[in-house]
Chains A and B, each alone.
Chain A
Amino acid sequence: MISPRYHRDIPQRYRLEGGKCTKCSYIAFPPRLVCPKCKSKSFEPYHLSREGKILTFTIIKVGPDKFSKETPYVVAIIELNDGARLTTQVADCDVERVALGAKVKLVFRKIQDEGKSGLHCYGYKAILL
Chain B
Amino acid sequence: MYGIVGYGSYLPRYRIKVEDIAKQWGADANALKRGLLLYEKTVPGLDEDTITISVEAARSALQRAKIDPQKIGAVYIGSESHPYAVKPSGTILIDALGIGPHVHVASYEFACKAGSEAMYVAYSLVKAGEMDYALGIGADTSQGAPGDALEYSASAGGAAFIMGKEKVVAEILFTHSYTSDTPDFWRREHEFYPRHAGRFTGEPAYFKHIYNSGKSLLEKSGMIPSDFQFAVFHMPNGKFPQEVGKKLGFTKEQMEVGWIVPWMGNTYSGSSPTGLAAILDVAKPGDKIFMVSFGSGAGSDGFIFQVTDEIEKVRNLAPKLRDMLDNDKIYLDYGQYAKFRKKIILNE
Q: Which residues of A contact B (CB under 8 A)?
A: 10, 14-15, 69-70, 91-94, 107-111, 115-116, 120, 122, 125, 127
Given contacts A94-B330, A110-B48, are A10 and B95 in contact (CB under 8 A)?
yes
Are B52 and A108 touching (Cβ within 8 A)?
yes
Provided the pairs A69-B346, A92-B13, A92-B14 are in contact, do residues A15 and B98 lie with their beta carbons within 8 angstroms?
yes
Contacts of A109 in B (CB 8 A): 45, 47-48, 52
Top 7 A-B pairs ranked by shortest CB distance?
A109-B47, A108-B55, A14-B96, A110-B47, A92-B13, A108-B52, A14-B95
Evaluate whether A70 and B84 lie within 8 angstroms (CB atoms) in the complex, with A15-B95, A108-B55, A122-B92 already known: no
* Cα–Cα distance between A127 and B47 once the two chains are bound (Å): 12
Instruction: Provide 21 A-B residue pairs closer than 8 Å at the C-beta atoms, listed in order of the A residue.
Output: A14-B96, A15-B95, A15-B98, A92-B12, A93-B330, A107-B52, A108-B52, A108-B56, A108-B59, A108-B96, A109-B45, A109-B48, A109-B52, A110-B48, A110-B49, A115-B348, A120-B84, A122-B52, A122-B92, A125-B47, A127-B13
B197 within 8 A of A: no
Specify which of B12, B13, B51, B339 is in contact with A122 (CB 8 Å cutoff): B51
- Extra A-B contacts (4), CB below 8 Å, given A69-B46, A92-B13, A110-B49: A15-B96, A92-B328, A108-B96, A122-B92
* B contacts with A, residue count (CB < 8 A): 25
Cα A15 to Cα B100 with chains together (Å): 13
Contact of B348 among A70, A110, A116, A125 (CB under 8 A): A116
**Chain A residues with Cβ under 8 A from B14's Cβ?**
92
Residue of B nearest to A15 (CB): B98
**Would you give the shortest CB distance from A109 to chain B, in whole angstroms?**
4
| Complex Cα gap A107–B92 (Å) | 14
- Give per-residue flags for B261-293: 1 if the beta carbon is below 8 A from chain A beta carbons, else 0: 000000000000000000000000000000000
Q: Flag if A91 contacts B52 (CB, 8 Å).
A: no
Does B83 reach chain A (CB closer than 8 Å)?
A: yes
Nearest A-chain residue to B83, judged by Cβ: A120
Contacts of A122 in B (CB 8 A): 51-52, 92, 96
Q: Which residue of B lies closest to A107 (CB)?
A: B56
Q: In the complex, which residue of chain A has the Cβ closest to the Cβ of B339?
A: A69
Contacts of A15 in B (CB 8 A): 95-98
Contact A120 B346 (CB under 8 A): no
Q: Which residues of B contact A10 (CB under 8 A)?
A: 95
User: Which residue from chain B places its CB closest to the CB of A92 in the assembled complex?
Assistant: B13
Shortest Cβ distance from residue A103 to the other chain B in the assembled complex, whole angstroms: 13
* Chain A proximity mask over B27-60: 1 for CB below 8 Å, otherwise 0: 0000000000000000001111101100110010
Provide the residues of chain A in CB contact with B97, threshold 8 Å.
15
Please tell me if the beta carbons of A70 and B330 are within 8 angstroms of each other in the complex.
no
Nearest CB of B to A93, in Å: 8
In the bound assembly, the distance between CA atoms of A116 and B92 in angstroms comes to 19
A107 contacts across to B, CB distance below 8 A: 52, 56
- Decide if A91 touches B47 in the complex (CB within 8 Å): yes
